[in-house]
């Protein structure tokens, strides 16, 4: 018999959300009590738009550095296959508000001050598709997302 699996992300009504937003998906405890939190970092409105892979890829590399410079406990921040945002997994408990501020601050740095030398891991040795990057796209998308503002609620606009 196949085990029934419910994946929270597929239960979310993607037509009801209002991006850009940060949403706490789950808080989970391991067998020895360690807590991790999983966030939906939705930067683009689902089924209306999607970031191109090159810009998304460069944002991914930059967020790997910029989030860690702003908050401890980051485990992973990986893009959704639909290219509308990222999963952010953290050690410990964090509020959507705290994470939204970290993302906003990181995107501001991407939009304003980043030069190609600041993008980590862009060589053939350090990336799995090093030719598919665009800092121009990353910066333009960061600006567009910041213009709309990042909400701490996925369903109603509570922009920080």
Binding site for Zn ion (CB under 5 A): 127
CB of 65 to Zn ion, least distance (A): 12
Question: Would you say 69 or 126 has its CB closer to Zn ion?
Answer: 126
**CB of 35 or CB of 75, closer to Zn ion:** 75
Q: How far is the CB of 134 from Zn ion (least distance, A)?
A: 12
Choose between 36 and 64: whose C-beta lies nearer to Zn ion.
Answer: 64
Residue 42 token pair: 């939705």
The 10 Å Cβ neighbour count of residue 148 is 16
Least distance between Zn ion and beta carbon 138 (Å) = 12
Question: Would you say 24 and 96 are in contact if contact means Cβ atoms under 8 Å apart?
Answer: yes
């Amino acid at each position: 018999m196949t085990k029934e699996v419910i994946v929270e992300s597929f239960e979310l009504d993607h037509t009801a959300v209002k991006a850009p937003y940060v949403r706490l998906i789950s808080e989970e405890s391991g067998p020895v009590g360690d807590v991790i939190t999983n966030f939906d970092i939705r930067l683009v409105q689902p089924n209306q738009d999607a970031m191109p892979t090159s810009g998304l890829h460069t944002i991914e590399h930059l967020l790997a550095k910029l989030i860690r410079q702003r908050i401890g406990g980051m485990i992973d921040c990986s893009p959704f296959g639909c290219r509308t945002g990222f999963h952010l997994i953290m050690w410990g408990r964090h509020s959507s508000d705290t994470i939204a501020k970290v993302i906003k601050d990181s995107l501001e740095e991407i939009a304003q001050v980043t030069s190609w030398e600041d993008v980590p891991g862009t060589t053939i040795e350090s990336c799995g598709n090093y030719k598919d990057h665009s800092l121009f796209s990353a910066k333009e998308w960061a600006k567009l997302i910041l213009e709309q503002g990042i909400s701490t609620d996925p369903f109603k606009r509570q922009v920080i």
